[in-house]
Amino acid sequence: MADELEFDVEDRGLTRGRVTLARRHGVIAGWTGRDPKAIEHHIEELAAIGVPRPSSVPLYYRVSAQLFTQAPAIQVVGDGSSGEVEPLLFDDGEALYLGLGSDHTDRALETHSVALSKQICAKPVARGAWRFEEVAGHLEQIELRSFIREGEGATGDGEWVAYQAGTIAGIRPFEELLAGTPVAAGKGRLAAGAMMLCGTFPVLAGGVRPARAFRMEMHDPVLDRSLEGRYDIEVLPAVS
């Protein structure tokens, strides 16, 4: 159905089953870095492109649940948007899961309103997921990376460039984020049908910038398995 997403639940790299999530609630947890210096770095990184400082940290931005998508491409207006790799928590009412997503954001609009910039762009998520209980004991070791395709290569497709990298150890403890979110269900759970992106990492080099395509990865070194996702960005003309 249009209001549902399907996730392949993986166990040590093997597909074990499929979870159907009825999308009801969407939240973007922002400014969630555990290291105050890293938070300040990200604030300054965005301030360089005109984004105002947050009123407090962390912040929880409510967005339409229908923005979360597994489509292979998204459409944006103008060339001022970019992706951010983030761990994704979602709950189908039976269990909590860890997935992977991108908080794609309109940077031009973000200079006027961060909340509106979160709402204006689709939020691509990977098709794979893990049961949260399987990773809870080693969450901080889980690694995330993103890559962007920019420029024009010899084939006209451009080159993949490393864009972000970090571990969940760099993000505030998930029990704290779960307790503070407006869609909490208590006891370390989200409300049924809720999805929450949990924070991102600074750009490795070159600053926050748009790209033609975005690729993201999450690797569990303890259970030796990975989740992957990618999407293309189609820019629509900004007319007035």
What is the set of domains in the chain, with CATH numbers? 4-236 (3.90.850.10)
Q: Would you say residue 152 has pLDDT above 70?
A: no
Per-residue pLDDT, 150: 85
Q: CA-CA distance, 131 to 149, in Å (whole number)?
A: 31
Per-residue model confidence as pLDDT tens digits over 38-93: 788 878 887 888 888 888 889 999 999 999 999 999 999 999 999 999 999 999 99
Amino acid 1: pLDDT: 46
pLDDT greater than 90 at residue 14? no
DSSP assignments along the chain, one per residue: -TTEEEEEEEETTEEEEEEEEE--EEEEEES-BSSHHHHHHHHHHHHTTTPPPPSSSSEEEEE-GGGEE--SEEEEESS-EE--EEEEEEE-SS-EEEEEEE--EEHHHHTT-HHHHHHHS-EEB-SEEEEHHHHGGGGGG-EEEEEEEES--TTSS-EEEEEEEEEGGGB--HHHHHHHSTTEEETTEEPTTEEEE-----BSSS-S---SEEEEEEEETTTTEEEEEEEEEEEEP---
Residues 6+ apart with CB under 8 A from 70: 5, 6, 124, 125, 126, 127
